Structure 1
Amino acid sequence: MKDAFGAPQSLLLLGGTSEIGLATARRLIGRRTRKVWLAGRPSPALDAAAARLRALGADTRVVPFDALDPASHEDTLGKVFAEGDVDAVLLAFGVLGDQARDEQEPAAAVRVAQTNYAGSVSSALVCGAALQRQGHGSLIVMSSVAGERGRRSNFIYGSSKAGLDVFAQGLGDALRPAGVHVLVVRPGFVRTKMTAGRPEVPLSTTPEAVAAAIESGLRRRSEVMWVPGTLRPVMSVLRHLPRAVFRRLPL
């Protein structure tokens, strides 16, 4: 259960090596979180991430999880919830892909969609049902500003995030009567290993800044968080530009 300050005492991180996810775990451990499950493909990196969280004082366990194997999600994630209530679930896995290559290799584009959208739909429904049975908890879904409007430079990745964003908002409405809180997080360009080598854009942010926004969103039970917050009015303008104007922008 969350403590008297509303901070989660337990966290299930799907995407156990995600820089944003781990930054969030560290921040929550610094507050009240004492139990963490890191779910991801077995690897030395996943084990090392777990060891670092244990060093911070959290009871941290590794859970095998593959976004591309939805048939296993109910069993794998169900075992976590069978150990006791989970206060917060963070869906932080995903792939950026390579737009130029993926346009030429449909199978690669499908893999982006399967990971970012289909894998998230499956795992979110499993976790959402478990949270619903508990009658409490938060589900945090990592969306992206890339899903706000299709752009020539990243419409494959962006479309997967757009689908996920709509799904998460609807899921939030479905779970709300049961006392479950769904938070959709829409960061802009985040400086991580996944974006290394790509030119930065205005309003770039860091995993730590996203983690701070997630903590704030959990405390306030927000439904949508933009990171940084100034992206909200910027994207509102871009969303309503006539298409003939929008396609001329270097986006």
Structure 2
Amino acid sequence: MPVKDALALPQSLLVLGGTSEIGLATARRLITRGARTVWLAGRPSPALEQAAESLRALGADTRTVDFDALDPASHETALGKVFAEDAIDLVLLAFGVLGDQAHDERAPLRAVHVAQTNYTGAVSAGLVAASALQAQSHGALVVLSATAAERARRVDFIYGSSKAGLDTFAQGLGDALYGTGVRVMVVRPGFVRTRATADRPREPFATTPAAVATAIELGLRRGAETVWVPGVLRLVTAALRHAPRALFRRLPF
């Protein structure tokens, strides 16, 4: 049975970005809390199948669906397959790329790839998912943003600007869906220690996929609209957001 209590934990979920470490950590945590059906959406690959097998080993009915963030024209068909088979309590928008700021500045097409994945693809998938959730009159859309969305930094303004667009979009979508039975929760992690960031210098307030998953669960339980991971970043980014630009430029990041 689908969960229609807005603050209940989901019994079924769809992870857009099926090999995402944060997405899989969240799926594992929710499975231990009673989730029984998991869809992993991503490009067909051994990694996607291995991810599905790892969740099946935990007892979840786990299936995969072909999904390409860079092919918006296919999103309605891909997500439609999922919603045609199951009522989905939670859609987790977990795909994205970091890019490489130093190289991407000199290669505009690489910068565009970051923007198209993190923003354009997310807008398309988010709208399709929201429409499907609204048609069933319940569910939650959890969007992985980033603290980098709060203010552009010299070291990652291409990635940060793409997440800023996504963050604003998700907030607006949440307002548009208010009162429909569907809610949107924006999650803003700081630096997350994953395979993708293994070769990057560790930043202050670094976190892990497991910690983000814990925060997502708590946010769902509380009916939160915005979640910071770790929570102290809410205060840190508020201070940085209001710092004079001349001072901000002199900060070591």
TM-score bin (small chain)? over 0.9
SS of corresponding position for 1:96? coil
Q: What is the distance in 1 between the residues matched to 2:72 and 2:65?
A: 15
* Corresponding residue to 1:8 among 7, 10, 24: 10
Please state if 1:79 is matched with 2:81: yes
SS of corresponding position for 2:192? coil
Distance apart, 1:194 and its partner CA: 1.1
Is contact 1:69–1:119 with CA below 8 Å preserved after alignment? yes
Q: What is the distance in 1 between the residues matched to 2:86 and 2:234?
A: 37
SS of corresponding position for 2:178? helix
Partner of 1:206: 208
RMSD (Å) for aligned C-alpha atoms: 1.0
Partner of 2:185: 183
Q: Which amino acid aligns with 1:246?
A: F
Matches within 5 A, 1:101-112: 101-112=103-114
Is contact 2:20–2:95 with CA below 8 Å preserved after alignment? yes
Please state if 1:165 is matched with 2:167: yes
Partner of 2:56: 54
Is contact 1:3–1:9 with CA below 8 Å preserved after alignment? no
Distance apart, 1:126 and its partner CA: 0.1
SS of corresponding position for 1:198? coil
Partner of 2:176: 174
Q: Which runs of 5+ in 1 are unaligned?
A: none
Partner of 2:142: 140
Partner of 1:33: 35
Distance apart, 1:84 and its partner CA: 2.3
Distance apart, 1:242 and its partner CA: 0.4
Q: Deviations over 1:217-248 (max 9, x none)?
A: 11111000000000000100000000000000
Q: Deviations over 1:7-50 (max 9, x none)?
A: 10000000000000000000000011000000000000000000
Q: What is the distance in 1 between the residues matched to 2:113 and 2:44?
A: 19
Is contact 2:119–2:163 with CA below 8 Å preserved after alignment? yes
Q: Which amino acid aligns with 1:15?
A: G
After TM superposition, the score normalised by the length of structure 1 is: 0.98
Is contact 1:143–1:187 with CA below 8 Å preserved after alignment? yes
Distance apart, 1:209 and its partner CA: 0.2
Is contact 1:16–1:49 with CA below 8 Å preserved after alignment? yes
SS of corresponding position for 1:104? coil
Q: Which runs of 5+ in 2 are unaligned?
A: none
Q: Deviations over 1:75-120 (max 9, x none)?
A: 1101101112100000000000000110000000000000000000
Q: What is the distance in 2 between the residues matched to 1:52 and 1:109?
A: 33
Is contact 1:135–1:180 with CA below 8 Å preserved after alignment? yes
Partner of 2:198: 196
Query: Runs ≥4 in structure 1, deviation > 4 angstroms?
Result: none
Partner of 2:224: 222
Q: What is the distance in 2 between the residues matched to 1:145 and 1:125?
A: 22
Q: What is the distance in 2 between the residues matched to 1:80 and 1:3?
A: 18
Q: What is the distance in 1 between the residues matched to 2:77 and 2:64?
A: 15
Q: Which amino acid aligns with 1:53?
A: L
After TM superposition, the score normalised by the length of structure 2 is: 0.98
Is contact 1:50–1:60 with CA below 8 Å preserved after alignment? yes
Report the count of equivalent residues.
Answer: 251
